[in-house]
Amino acid sequence: MIQIAPSILSADFGRISEEIAAVHEAGADWVHLDVMDGHFVPNLTFGPPLVARMEKPKGLVFDAHLMVTDPDPLIEGFAQAGCHRLTVHAEAPIHLHRTLSVVRSHGMQAGVSLNPATPVSALDWVLEEVELVLLMSVNPGFGGQRYIPQVTGKIRELADILAERGLAIPIQVDGGINTETIGEAAGAGATVFVAGTAVFGEPDYRAAISALRERAEAAVKPRRKDLG
């Protein structure tokens, strides 16, 4: 039930297909693609043409995270490039509900993301439209930042709302996830973990992914016991 999603933001872009194959072989569940437009966030990465050229190992989920002001014109391109999941920020499109239905109409699972300062209530009227909620645990734009501890309470708040409403939507956490922080995020109710530096910054990808998974699973077990 725990999914580890290495972010290629910290990978070697000159050997991107090899890097993706390496994390796949090392046990990654998803590969996380951080798309930045230099406007919604102060950094630029890549768009659909590059994703289309990435080799896609069988069984590896391609999970795009759009940190862009205007996602709508890019949705079709990412679907054609082979993405399985596409997450947009609640702060970005004017017509979030429509954007999410367009993502789904292109055969992808729709996700919605919140910046650290955006309250969970921003999602009240779109939760039925998504297959994932991504809570940012850093201000988006760069890898290698510190986990913002207040986000743990936000994960808990969202997990409670989802349980009350009977929605089995996974909570993904992104930013500053490492073996020190993954436990508290998992204990609060997150099940999908993006990790850039904590995977691609380590010499042994398999050991890094296993260590993250173990810490997350260890934190989830006591919570399951509480629930009886």
Active site residues: 34, 174
CA distances from 32 to 95, 104, 133, 172 (A): 25, 18, 14, 11
**Chosen from Zn ion, ligand DX5, none, partner binding at 10 (C-beta under 5 to 8 Å by type):** ligand DX5
Q: Is 174 in the site for Zn ion (CB under 5 A)?
A: yes
For Zn ion, which residue of 65, 89, 213, 215 counts as binding (CB under 5 A)? 65
> Least distance to ligand DX5 from the beta carbon of 42, Å?
10
**Residue with structure tokens 């009350």?**
164
Position closest to ligand DX5 via CB: 196
Is residue 29 part of the contact set for Zn ion (CB under 5 A)?
no
- Binding window for ligand DX5 (CB under 6 A); candidates: 15-23, 84-92, 134-142, 153-161: 134-142
Within residues 48-67, the interface with ligand DX5 by CB under 6 A covers 65
Alpha helices in the chain (DSSP H): 16-25, 48-53, 75-80, 96-105, 151-164, 182-188, 197-200, 205-227
195 binds, among ligand DX5, Zn ion, none (CB under 5 to 8 A by kind): ligand DX5
State which of residues 194, 209, 219, 220 lies at the interface with ligand DX5 (CB under 6 A).
194
Both tokens of 204, joined, read: 């042994």
Q: State the binding partner of 9 from ligand DX5, Zn ion, none, CB within 5 to 8 A by kind.
A: ligand DX5
93 interacts with ligand DX5 by CB under 6 A: no
Q: d(Cα 152, Cα 211) in Å, to the nearest integer?
A: 20
175 binds ligand DX5 (CB under 6 A): yes
Q: Which of Zn ion, ligand DX5, none does 144 bind, CB closer than 5 to 8 A by kind?
A: ligand DX5
Long-range Cβ contact pairs of 77-83 (< 8 A, separation 24 or more): 77/47, 77/48, 77/49, 78/35, 78/48, 78/51, 78/108, 79/106, 79/107, 79/108, 80/48, 80/52, 81/48, 81/49, 81/51, 81/52, 82/51, 82/52, 82/54, 82/56, 83/33, 83/51, 83/108
Tokens 């921003």 correspond to what residue? 122
Is residue 71 part of the contact set for ligand DX5 (CB under 6 A)? no
Size of the site for Zn ion (CB under 5 A): 3
CB 174, min distance to Zn ion, A: 4
